[in-house]
């Protein structure tokens, strides 16, 4: 089996973890958590952050900045580049990024699921077959919102 590589949409996941602090602190906390996670699990990871900065590594974790590109563009390129040599999982709640990543033949995981895994300790990413299905808007909705929208959809026309 190829080595596991997690490619993390850093600001997306940091925002999901949000402890209410300044963005720099959220990033630092995310980097510390991901570093511990990959060291414990024996995996590699790349966290991609928006903006400018110098790339650096902490053990099995590499932090990259998107510079003048979007983080999504950098993540797409990294996923495609490493797909042949690694068992890649792209971690983001960005529906378009997840769809593009899947089309490249890599696994995807939502930011929320990854945050839960960080809290629970090292667990290998699920490695079921890569699905080729399209993501729909409903895939990004929480269950309560989805249920409310379904209720509205089922109402007879003309009723409020």
CA distance 146 to 142: 6
Q: At what angle do helices 23-41 and 111-120 cross, to 10 degrees?
A: 60
The pLDDT tens digits of the residues spanning 36-72 come to 999 888 899 999 999 999 999 999 999 999 999 999 9
Question: Number of folded domains in the chain?
Answer: 1
CA distance 40 to 36: 6
Q: Two tokens at 12?
A: 């997306």
Long-range contacts of residues 96-100, Cβ cutoff 8 Å, at least 24 apart:
96/72, 97/9, 97/72, 98/135, 99/134, 99/135, 100/76
Q: Is residue 62 part of a domain?
A: yes
Q: Note down the domain range covering 117.
A: 3-131
Q: Is residue 149 part of a domain?
A: no
CA distance 91 to 96: 12
Q: Is residue 9 part of a domain?
A: yes
- Among 27, 99, 37, 29, smallest CA distance to 64 is for 27
Q: What is the DSSP letter of 140?
A: G
Q: Residue 12 maps to which CATH number? A: 3.40.50
The pLDDT tens digits of the residues spanning 58-115 come to 999 999 999 999 999 999 999 999 998 999 999 999 999 998 888 888 999 999 999 9
């Amino acid at each position: 089996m190829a080595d596991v590589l997690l490619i993390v949409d850093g600001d997306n996941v940091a925002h999901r973890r949000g402890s209410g602090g300044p963005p720099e602190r959220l990033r630092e906390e995310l980097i510390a958590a991901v570093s511990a996670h990959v060291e414990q699990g024996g995996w590699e990871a790349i966290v991609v952050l928006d903006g400018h900065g110098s790339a650096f590594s902490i053990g099995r974790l590499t932090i990259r900045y998107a510079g003048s590109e979007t983080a999504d563009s950098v993540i797409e390129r990294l996923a495609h580049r490493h797909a042949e040599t690694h068992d890649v999982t792209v971690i983001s709640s960005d529906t378009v990024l997840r769809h593009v990543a899947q089309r490249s033949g890599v696994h995807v995981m939502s930011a929320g699921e990854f945050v839960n895994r960080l809290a629970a300790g090292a667990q290998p990413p699920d490695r079921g077959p890569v699905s080729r299905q399209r993501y729909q808007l409903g895939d990004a909705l929480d269950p309560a919102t989805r249920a409310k929208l379904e209720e509205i959809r089922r109402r007879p026309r003309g009723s409020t």
